[in-house]
Amino acid sequence: MSNEAVKGHHEKAYALLKADANKILKLIEVQMANLTMPQCPLYEEVLDTQMFGLSREIDFAIRLELIDEEVGKQLIAQLERELATLHEASTKSL
């Protein structure tokens, strides 16, 4: 496989993982705005399940050498920061 094709696969894998992280953020935003409070067990279960699924996707991409481990860690850390900010804003508005 050519270097260009490999690079394309790496970029596509990262873009897909980033899109999944954004979907989780949007899902939690909608859930917090319309359905439940952050202290609700349903909220926590959805968040835990989604984050676990994303971490497994990232682990898989790392094992396939589609992304670097550090990139995967940064993606999870960024999502966790965004979720923490969203959670903080939600609890302040109560």
| Least confident window among 13-17, 26-30, 81-85, 89-93 | 89-93
Helix crossing, 41-63 with 69-92: angle to 10°? 170
Cβ neighbours, 10 Å, residue 18: 13
Higher per-residue pLDDT: 45 or 58: 58
Please determine, for residue 83, whether its predicted confidence score (pLDDT) is greater than 60.
Answer: yes
Angle at 80 between CA 90 and CA 16, to 5 degrees: 115
Q: Specify whether domain 3-92 bears CATH 1.10.10.410.
A: no
CA separation (Å) from 93 to 27, 35, 89? 19, 15, 6
Question: Which of the pair, 26 or 6, is modelled with greater confidence?
Answer: 26
- Mean pLDDT, residues 2-8: 82
**pLDDT at 32 exceeding the cut of 80:** no
